[in-house]
Chains A and B, each alone.
Chain A
Amino acid sequence: MSAVLGTAAVALGLAAAVLGMATLALGLRRDNPDMLRAGQRYVWLVLAGAVLATFAMQYALLSHDFSLTYVADNGSRSTPILYTVTTMWSALEGSILLWALVLAGYLAVMARHFRNRASDPIVAWATLVAFGVAAFFFALMAGPANPFRVVAGAIPLDGPGPNPLLQNHPLVAFHPPMLYLGYVGFTIPFAFALAALITGRLGEGWLVETRRWTLFAWGFLTVGIVLGAWWSYEVLGWGGYWAWDPVENASFLPWLTATAYVHSVMVQERRAMLRVWNLSLLVATFSLTILGTFLTRSGVLDSVHAFTESPIGPAILGFFAVVVAVSIALIGWRGDKLRSPGSIDAPVSREGAFLANNVAFAAFAFVVLLGTVFPLIVEAVNGDQLSVGAPYFNRMTAPIGFTLLFLMAVAPALPWRKASAETLHHRLLWPAWAGVLTVVVCVASGLRGLGPLLAFGLAAFAAAAALRQLALSVRAARRGGSPVWRALMGRSNGGMVVHLGVVILAVGFAASSSYGHRAQFRLAPGESAGLAGHTVTYLDTATVEKSNKKTTSARVRVDGGKVYAPALHQFPFGSQAIGSPSVRTGPFSDVYLTLIVPPDAGGVAVIGVNVQPLVAWLWTGGAVMGFGTFLAAWPGRRRRRAAPEPAAPGRPAPVPEPATVAS
């Protein structure tokens, strides 16, 4: 049943996307508004296909329909319901289905948002491009990555369940959907970018139209990445949260280019500059989401030569190549229209800072991309095997990170066009002192190491700069008689809140990676050990057998207080025991416990202890960034202006400060 419904739903989605493209193409060719409107309506069929296919997959998973290969390979009767639901994105075919579902959702929102402008060529072209992307993903499901393939031969009675690591923590219910909302969301601005190139309407209108879409996608991607780091911290058991693993890098790369874009787009809106660059950043962001899918889903990372074994790798790589080639060709074709009328007057100005920001983010993305694919390229070229790991990434990206923190501190204070020494002095002096005094306090309290001290100092500088902007905005709002919460809304104020989130995250990153302690202790019941000012006492071990796993958990008392239970899980089909750490999270330091070796005959167990400061700041920072994005995407004052308003006596006087001018 599920197989039939699912296959039919995928066929529906594919057919609707292709027909939608054809109708729009014809309508554009004949300049026929009715056809354009009709073409846009296919969006609802695409959505219906995706929703039905998702329903079929969930039904198959929940009813343990092992006649589907996907369920037989990834489901099991003993898996709890939550993880049965999340099984949909625990393997390749299902995650393509999730991708298609999210994309269909975005398409539907886009169609609804632009429903009155269906006959506008730029909207029609953008819808056509988005249909094309949807058609590709539905075609993947209809062909090489079919989630509804039926088992050949006897139907198994049970399955192995999802990868044990993916049924260990409820975050798997949130991290992948968030990440996909981010990845897929960039399809819409990308589609508008191509539409602008095709129609030649390369003014700044399409940028403004897609601004909020980009922000939402960026916010989801940010939260998705941070949740992923949190998941790996809570589940993987090595005490860290970011290993520069190719899977992590694949999500980070589009984030870097998208972050560059949300900054440089402001230069284009204001000064009509950097048009080619902004288009390139959007194209890069979208194609990096595709490249990331290729890297993580084709098996190329396990071996360069393995990815051609299934047709999925070549299909995704081919799509990536088409996206890049078409975009470059279009940008080249419109080259003369893209030449910008403006230019940068002085390097020390807001636009100069944005430019530096973009160079830094581009360099960051380049380093991450190079480090990720370098081993693949070397192996493909001469068969040598080498690794590029965390030490490389840390060393190469640290200077870029410092540069970005510095720019984050300075840029909000810089006026557009040109900054005078007087302005710089006036606006930057006390934030700079905040940074320097932070360094002094840190050194005085015994912290050592150039890297973390620089990070703390620059973070304080940037935080002070952001707070100064917010304070100015609040003051302006008060003077203008609008409520104070208004002062946090809008792009530049929300952006400052995002900056505060980045600062919190950066401090957490610098502190936890510089001042951590780790040790393993062999402890008999009742014995204690100390590490970095904390005492852990091993009490005893208990074993619990459940339907889906056998769990051995140690009870460990931390600092004479609460008892924590790091555990080892043995899954019936998994060969290796999977550890699950237990963490005492605190605002200033985390005590991270793992059970490394269960008790031997004499009762002695090996407990891993990892003490790291300020880990919780990472998750807090991520949450603040997400919240700030929400504020930035908020319609601001525009909605109120819909009502006719008297000519400005009640409005805040224009203050020559970026906080109020550039929102």
Chain B
Amino acid sequence: MSRRLNRAALNWAALGLVLVVALAIGARGEPGPPTEDSRVRRITSVIRCPTCRGLSAEQSDAPSAESIRDEVRRRVEAGETDAAIKGYLVSRYGEDILLQPRSKLVWALPIVAVVVAVGGLVVVMRRRRVPSSARTSRADQELVDRAMRS
């Protein structure tokens, strides 16, 4: 019995090892610093296309998106940092040009909600439940049983 369990554990350990190694190789990006092309793509993908709905300046073929791409490229070639370029775009087009809002709230709220929900669930599940006053009627119970069998 224990030998079988040991073999099982070994099998899973091997699986984990292979997975970690493969992911470690696979997750390594391009070596070296990012190219200008990739920086332009990275920046424009979080900039809204001013004349489209819901598209980024990287995705859109609209002239306004084209001109933002050109502007970003010019500034990337001039050696400006990502933050400086985004700052310039915000000053020119307004805060809503950023597709990722800088407001912390919209990022934090879901995480807080999940932590609270999971925490609450654990507490509720640990607590001893009071038996319910609701008795299922026999007709209901039969329906369920029949459905379970089907």
Residues of A within 8 A of B59 (CB): 238-240, 518
- Docked CA distance A592–B25 (Å): 31
Judging by beta carbons under 8 Å apart, are A203 and B95 in contact? no
Q: Give the contacts of A341-367 with B (CB-CB under 8 A).
A: 341, 343-344, 347, 355, 359, 362-363, 366-367
Residues of A within 8 A of B11 (CB): 425, 429
Residues of B within 8 A of A395 (CB): 100
Residues of B within 8 A of A390 (CB): 54, 56, 99
- Docked CA distance A203–B140 (Å): 6
Q: Which among B26, B99, B136 is the interface contact of A449 at CB below 8 angstroms?
A: B26
Contacts A203-B136, A239-B59 hold; do A389 and B99 have CB atoms under 8 A apart?
A: yes
Contact with A along B99-143 (1 / 0, CB 8 A): 111110111011001100110010001000111111111011101
In the complex, B48 has a CB within 8 A of chain A: yes
Judging by beta carbons under 8 Å apart, are B23 and A343 in contact? no
Contacts A390-B99, A392-B99 hold; do A205 and B54 have CB atoms under 8 A apart?
A: no
In the complex, B78 has a CB within 8 A of chain A: no
Residues of B within 8 A of A450 (CB): 23, 26-27
Q: Which among B25, B95, B110, B139 is the interface contact of A363 at CB below 8 angstroms?
A: B110
Residues of B within 8 A of A453 (CB): 22-23, 26-27
Contacts A340-B129, A362-B117, A440-B22 hold; do A243 and B54 have CB atoms under 8 A apart?
A: yes
Judging by beta carbons under 8 Å apart, are A436 and B18 in contact? yes
Closest to B65 in A: A238
Q: Which among B23, B113, B118 is the interface contact of A439 at CB below 8 angstroms?
A: B23
In the complex, A655 has a CB within 8 A of chain B: no
In the complex, B3 has a CB within 8 A of chain A: no
Contacts A362-B117, A596-B61 hold; do A385 and B95 have CB atoms under 8 A apart?
A: yes
Residues of B within 8 A of A203 (CB): 134-137, 140-141, 144
* Chain B nearest Cβ from A600, distance in angstroms: 15
How many residues of B are in contact with the other chain, CB < 8 A?
A: 65
In the complex, B98 has a CB within 8 A of chain A: yes
Closest to A435 in B: B19
Number of interchain pairs (Cβ within 8 Å): 198
- Docked CA distance A520–B60 (Å): 11
Q: Which among A366, A442, A447 is the interface contact of B110 at CB below 8 angstroms?
A: A366
In the complex, A388 has a CB within 8 A of chain B: yes
Judging by beta carbons under 8 Å apart, are A208 and B118 in contact? no
In the complex, A121 has a CB within 8 A of chain B: no
In the complex, B83 has a CB within 8 A of chain A: no
In the complex, A663 has a CB within 8 A of chain B: yes
In the complex, B55 has a CB within 8 A of chain A: yes
Residues of B within 8 A of A374 (CB): 101, 103, 105-106
Closest to B19 in A: A436
In the complex, A433 has a CB within 8 A of chain B: yes
Judging by beta carbons under 8 Å apart, are A359 and B114 in contact? yes
- Docked CA distance A363–B118 (Å): 11
Closest to A207 in B: B144
Q: Give the contacts of B7-41 with A (CB-CB under 8 A).
A: 8, 11-12, 15, 18-19, 22-23, 25-29
Judging by beta carbons under 8 Å apart, are B96 and A363 in contact? no
In the complex, B79 has a CB within 8 A of chain A: no
Most buried by B among A208, A237, A395, A594: A208
In the complex, A315 has a CB within 8 A of chain B: no
Residues of A within 8 A of B61 (CB): 237-238, 520, 579, 594, 596, 608
Q: Give the contacts of A488-539 with B (CB-CB under 8 A).
A: 490, 518, 520
Judging by beta carbons under 8 Å apart, are B117 and A439 in contact? no
Q: Which among A339, A388, A432, A490 is the interface contact of B133 at CB below 8 angstroms?
A: A339
* Chain B nearest Cβ from A445, distance in angstroms: 11
In the complex, B53 has a CB within 8 A of chain A: yes
Q: Which among A433, A448, A490 is the interface contact of B27 at CB below 8 angstroms?
A: A448
Q: Please tell me which stretch of A41-49, A53-61, A281-289, A633-641 contacts chain B, meaning at least 4 of its Cβ atoms lie within 8 angstroms of it.
A: A633-641
Judging by beta carbons under 8 Å apart, are B150 and A638 in contact? yes
Residues of B within 8 A of A596 (CB): 61
- Docked CA distance A239–B59 (Å): 8
Judging by beta carbons under 8 Å apart, are B22 and A439 in contact? yes
Residues of B within 8 A of A432 (CB): 12, 15
Contact with B along A434-477 (1 / 0, CB 8 A): 00100110110001111001100100000000000000000000
Judging by beta carbons under 8 Å apart, are A387 and B60 in contact? no
Q: Which among B5, B18, B113 is the interface contact of A421 at CB below 8 angstroms?
A: B5
In the complex, A370 has a CB within 8 A of chain B: yes
Closest to A490 in B: B150
Contacts A211-B147, A386-B98 hold; do A363 and B117 have CB atoms under 8 A apart?
A: yes
* Chain A nearest Cβ from B116, distance in angstroms: 11
In the complex, B146 has a CB within 8 A of chain A: yes
Residues of B within 8 A of A366 (CB): 110, 113
In the complex, A419 has a CB within 8 A of chain B: no
In the complex, B46 has a CB within 8 A of chain A: yes
Judging by beta carbons under 8 Å apart, are B95 and A386 in contact? yes
* Chain B nearest Cβ from A638, distance in angstroms: 4
Closest to B97 in A: A387
In the complex, A198 has a CB within 8 A of chain B: no
Contacts A238-B59, A390-B99, A392-B99 hold; do A343 and B129 have CB atoms under 8 A apart?
A: yes
Q: Which among A272, A359, A363 is the interface contact of B136 at CB below 8 angstroms?
A: A272
In the complex, A371 has a CB within 8 A of chain B: yes
Q: Which among B52, B94, B134 is the interface contact of A339 at CB below 8 angstroms?
A: B134
Residues of A within 8 A of B27 (CB): 448-450, 453
Q: Which among A338, A363, A440, A579 is the interface contact of B134 at CB below 8 angstroms?
A: A338
- Docked CA distance A81–B99 (Å): 40
- Docked CA distance A386–B99 (Å): 8
Contacts A359-B114, A448-B27 hold; do A439 and B101 have CB atoms under 8 A apart?
A: no
* Chain B nearest Cβ from A5, distance in angstroms: 37
Contact with A along B77-100 (1 / 0, CB 8 A): 000000000000000001111111
- Docked CA distance A270–B23 (Å): 39
Q: Which among B96, B107, B117, B149 is the interface contact of A375 at CB below 8 angstroms?
A: B96
Contacts A388-B99, A390-B99 hold; do A337 and B134 have CB atoms under 8 A apart?
A: yes
Closest to B58 in A: A518
- Docked CA distance A432–B45 (Å): 35
Judging by beta carbons under 8 Å apart, are A391 and B99 in contact? yes
7 contacts between A and B (CB under 8 A): A239-B59, A336-B133, A386-B95, A388-B106, A450-B27, A520-B61, A637-B150
Other 4 A-B pairs with CB < 8 A, given A359-B117, A388-B99, A663-B150: A374-B105, A392-B107, A396-B110, A520-B61
- Listed in ascending order, the chain B residues whose CB lies under 8 Å from chain A are 5, 8, 11-12, 15, 18-19, 22-23, 25-29, 45-46, 48, 52-56, 59-61, 94-103, 105-107, 109-110, 113-114, 117-118, 121, 125, 129-137, 139-141, 143-144, 146-150
Q: Can you list the 8 inter-chain pairs with the closest CB atoms, starting with the nearest?
A: A389-B99, A205-B140, A203-B140, A203-B136, A638-B150, A450-B27, A245-B54, A443-B26
